[in-house]
Amino acid sequence: MRVLGVNAVFHDPAAALVVDGRTVAAAEEERFSRRKHGKEAVPFSAWELPVESMRWCLSEAGVSPSDLDAVTYSYDPALAVERGPGLDPAWEWLRKTYVERAPFFLATALPGLDPERVLHMPHHVAHAASAALAAPRAAGGRAVLAADGRGENTSHLAGSYSEDGKLEVLARQGLPESLGLVYEELTEHLGFRRSSDEYKVMALASYGEPTMADRLSDRIAHLGDGLIVASQVDWEALAPAREPGTEPTRLHADLAASVQQRLEEVLLDLLGWLHERTGQHSLAMAGGIALNCVANSRIVRESPFDDVWVQPAAGDAGTALGGALQTAADLGEKVEPMPGADLGRGWSDEELAEILSEAEVEYERPVDLAAEIARALQENALVAWFQGRSEFGPRALGHRSLLADPSDADNLERLNRVKGREQFRPVAPMVPAARAADIFSGGPLPSPHMLFVHDVAPQWRDRIPAVVHVDGTARVQTVDPGDDPLTARLLSEFEALTGVPVLVNTSLNTAGRPMVDSPRDALECFGSAPVDILALGPYLVRRSEKGRT
């Protein structure tokens, strides 16, 4: 059975393909179009489909549109409302109309597709499936929480998946109450881009104190029975709006810390209720709220769940995968957990060599790439690391990464300058899974998808200062040699040279641009940013000998 999942309504349009219950491909449209988040989340854009990612998914699997048994669109217009928070009251009818016409738009984009095979799926059901059905199997099934800004008329779904993949919905939170919309409003109030820069607010919160949390307790709270209040916050009464481009003040940081604390406390209360209702020991999470790594780690430490799994593509892009998995399960297929986050495009060594030759750049093929790159990193080079298939989701996990030596404290400022990022934002460490517990604690290990924060052991903070955030934490990615043998060997070679089993890992892109996806994207980024070395598959491109010092 072949099921294509599509997300296209708000932002992060994406496609995913499930064949015989197995996830074979998933990609976000921004990686093809080079337009951050794929499109604007406005009613006029709802007709735009992830055409390139859909076509690539089918091509990757050798499937034609006429071969598809179903196409799932992760939004159900029958549930949609035309007035409410996060909506354009004058034009929301247009978004709904476009969604209703999606089967015909899809048939035009994919000639040969029967529009009768297109199904609309509730947004939060698709989110829930992207978590629980893609997660490793758990005895007794998994509780599930899907929480974000908004779907059709709700902001979160809490429920339970049985071992055989059946969903029981225990609570749906109606709008306007929404943890995600509150965080979006805060993001905009603090001068960042709404529905895009929420992770910057999470980083800023570490610089403040939750001095306003008590004043927010009546506006952001769990009411019981899986329902919340989260709306109508008077932001101006708490702190003045920040003008974009100006430096955040301590008051802005305190506001961010206060909302972050209330978010965490509400989630813990809600999940305590969910655990009591389900009796399950394992939890799966998705939706934009599940990208809040600080909250995720507190859930691991303080919630009653023994096992917490978060979808790597927890944002709206992940609903493409969840929709496909849920539809496959509904049609009687036994679906498998996702094999990893590296579900996007990849190129053979021969194809990479041809592209390098066409670009007329000098390159070499070292006998031992890992050893060569480890030596360059020891000499404080910045390395663009392009290996294997690209990641599905917002995190660079060693396939489209920018690497550096974590022992040089100046590398944080250096990387933020190269990428054009705010200086208060941290970069992440990657570490061998077998060594992680020696250095990091307070979060789940292994942590292969960089979705939790961990405390850095005091004796290591001065040894890896570039990856230690102001609060003594780091957003860790663990590397298992069984999953990524080349990156694991690079870490081993670097440790042999330096005694440090950690590297800086941040996404290979510059400000306002999607993560690098294709070899040509990598060459463009390498040519425009002061990066010393590009490791493109087995090949190495050097900027200059001087650039390595």
Could you give the residue numbers annotated as active site?
11
Question: For residue 284, how many other CB atoms are within 10 A of its CB?
Answer: 29
Which value, in Å, is the radius of gyration of the alpha carbons in the chain?
A: 23
CA distances from 462 to 255, 407, 437 (A): 29, 8, 17
| Most distant CA atoms of the chain, gap in Å | 64
Question: How many Å apart are CA 5 and CA 118, to the nearest integer?
Answer: 10
Question: How many Å apart are CA 403 and CA 405, to the nearest integer?
Answer: 7
CA distances from 515 to 185, 223, 320 (A): 25, 39, 19
Cα 165 from chain centroid?
Answer: 24
Question: How many Å apart are CA 311 and CA 309, to the nearest integer?
Answer: 7
DSSP sequence for 410-440: HHHHHHHHHHT--TT---EEEEETTTHHHHE
Amino acid at 118: V
Cβ–Cβ < 8 Å for 10, 152: no
Q: Which residues contact 370 (CB under 8 A, 6 or more apart)?
A: 486, 489, 490, 492, 493
Question: How many Å apart are CA 67 and CA 110, to the nearest integer?
Answer: 11
Tell me which DSSP letter residue 454 carries. Answer: E
Q: Which residues contact 546 (CB under 8 A, 6 or more apart)?
A: none
Question: For residue 385, how many other CB atoms are within 10 A of its CB?
Answer: 25
52, two tokens: 């390139």
Question: How many Å apart are CA 538 and CA 386, to the nearest integer?
Answer: 9
Cβ–Cβ < 8 Å for 349, 538: yes
282, two tokens: 């394992």
Question: How many Å apart are CA 454 and CA 463, to the nearest integer?
Answer: 16
Burial code of 17-56, b = ≥16 C-beta within 10 A, e = fewer? Answer: bbbebbbbbbbbbbbbbeebbbbebebebbbbbbbbbbeb
The dihedrals phi and psi of 498, each to the nearest 5 degrees, come to: -120, -15
